[in-house]
Structure 1
Amino acid sequence: MSQIGNAIEKRDQGPAAVIEQYKPELALVAASHVKVDTFARLAVGVLRQNEKLATAASSSPGSLMSALMTAARLGLEPGTEQFYLRPIKRKGVWEVQGIVGYQGIVELIYNAGAADSVVVEVVKRNDRFEYVPGRHDRPIHEVDWFGDRGPLVGAYAYAVMRGGAVSKVVVLNRNDIDRAKAKADGANTEYSPWRTDEEAMWLKTAVRRLGKWVPTSAEKLALPTAAASDRPALPAAPVIDDTDPDDEGPIEGELVD
């Protein structure tokens, strides 16, 4: 177990007390826009609403704090679709696992200030979907919102950058999604979001691939002034790494690890 895990075990008085005790450490790693008191209250609230998660946090407070440290570093809200907290059993011991959600990756893209909008959608069998690279700058996707859309068949993501240019369009079919799921840690366990929130995980897989092509940042970067608006945006520092065990592995690319 890590040094922080060993220290937590010695000081543990229950998950809520551990979070309170380690707020100074959370403050040291948190993105600048994170209000640590609010962050801690959110985390405690999630534990109180989920008995299994609370049991895992009591069993392994070190894993709880490891997950919360990651959420704080990325500036994401724990226990939401930005950053899932789930119980997972490893070698007979319940632990807390932190998983960046698709809304969390979208937030990291917006933080970098280079994108005006991020579009990430699933495609279902009865939708009309058309995208030909070189002919279309973005997909044509028509949905009957009040009819039977059928099962999931794919997902896509792209960003409209400042100035109007469209980023690379990521399009994934079911086989692409299945390959990503096969590499995910514990994807078929009871509390995995692949089982509890499958559509969100399809969205996440698409927007995570988009992270190869657009800047991301844990910090909310200030937009350029009007005088500098014609200058190209600088790439933000990489923030997504392989600490998320439910991903298909670290992103490889110019902007994101």
Structure 2
Amino acid sequence: MALTTLRDRVLANITQQQAPATGGRPAPASPTTGEAPSPAAPATLEEAAADGDAVQESADAVLDWLRRYEGHLTDALPRGVEVGPFLAAVRNRLPELRSCNPASVLQATLTAARFGLVPDGRLATITNEFGRAVFIPTYRGFVELWERTDRVASVRCGMVFEGDEYSYEPSAPAPLDFTHKQDPARKDRGRPLFAYAFVWKTDGHRSQVVTVNREEMEEIRDRWSRAYVEAELTGAKDSTWHTDELAMWQKTAIKQLEKVVPVSPEVRALLDVDRAGEEGRVQLLHAPDPEAAALTAEADQAAEAAEAAQDQAPAGLPRKRAGLKRNQPKRTTRAARKGRGRRS
């Protein structure tokens, strides 16, 4: 019988991973193609240590292995992000990734580097999802990338709770269509009702407000998040949807902005990478390629230079001579006309 739902596919995958033939261990995968990585890595971080027991030594061993790819990380990181602090943030995540395939750790690390999102828990993180390391941008990471674009001045998102004051009238002109007030002195705001997000553009206009209520959030979560379904089926209940539901709710609202706001190539790539991570697919294939990004930047600079050149009046244009009238027949004298008549 065909596996049509995400729950069916995840259940079949869990059963296959627990089969005796594989020993329950996911096979190592290349950070880019899914093949065995080079240089060779241990099957899990726990096996990276010589004695197989010390998590601290395991993390250090894998960090040494990751440093072999430091050149790739340096090329991938944007200007202003140093590879040293970036790897230090990755190092802090390694103890929680001790049962992961190190190749997946490398893949998640490279993916984070290409977006310039340090996986320190603020803009992004790297989590352990049943033996595979997954790069997860937070809603703040999405805000960071949205605000890097020329057309977006700022991104606002938030949660509306029962105790808050709000008004939502989509047919009213912005910014009167949506207002949200909360009492900072009130500790108990009640249960969350919905998340919202909107964009202030650099031209001073505001985008349409998008909202996501609980029913919509749960439908998106159950349909697309493999990590959530796996955590439910196994009883672990440790996915990001379980541990930080409100943040994931707000991120869902921000991702819906792609329907109402022009999306830059970088934001589009982050949406694709996040979706691939949710579905358990390879993420690095969707991340921006540094070489392609450099070529795109050069092309954009050339286009801007060409447009600037067209805006300036060319120097040394030929000028019309005084007294010359265009589009009028040349006059001839009566004597000249008689002469032509005699020649004919």
Q: Which structure: greater helix fraction?
A: 2
Deviations 1:120-173 (A, max 9, x none): 001112212211113141420011222221111100000111121001211111
Q: Give the equivalent residue in structure 2 for 1:246.
A: 278
Gaps of 5+ in 1: 219-236, 250-257
Deviations 1:83-127 (A, max 9, x none): 1211111xxxx2211112101100000111322221100111221
Deviation at 1:238, TM superposition (A): 3.4
From 154, 166, 169, the counterpart of 1:132: 169
Q: Give the equivalent residue in structure 2 for 1:6.
A: 36
The structure showing larger relative contact order (alpha-carbon pairs under 8 Å, at least 6 residues apart) is 1
For the structure 1 residues 211 and 176, does the alpha-carbon distance in structure 2 shift closer, same or farther, using more than 3 Å as the test?
same
Deviation at 1:215, TM superposition (A): 3.5
**Aligned equivalents of 1:146 and 1:209: distance in 2?**
31
**Aligned equivalents of 2:239 and 2:72: distance in 1?**
28
Normalising to structure 2: TM-score of the pair? 0.59
**Aligned equivalents of 1:216 and 1:76: distance in 2?**
17
Q: Which structure: greater strand fraction?
A: 1
Look up the SS of the partner of 1:211 in the other structure: helix
Q: Give the equivalent residue in structure 2 for 1:229.
A: none
Normalising to structure 1: TM-score of the pair? 0.77
Deviations 1:10-50 (A, max 9, x none): 15563211221111111233333432222112111232xxx
Letter in 2 for 1:243: V
Identity %: 26
Would you say the 8 A contact 1:158–1:169 is kept in 2? yes
Look up the SS of the partner of 1:97 in the other structure: strand
Letter in 2 for 1:126: G
Would you say the 8 A contact 1:111–1:216 is kept in 2? no
Matched, 1:176 2:216: yes
Q: Give the equivalent residue in structure 1 for 2:181.
A: 142
From 136, 142, 149, the counterpart of 1:105: 142
**Aligned equivalents of 2:115 and 2:105: distance in 1?**
16
**Aligned equivalents of 1:122 and 1:241: distance in 2?**
21
Letter in 2 for 1:44: R
**Aligned equivalents of 1:152 and 1:31: distance in 2?**
37
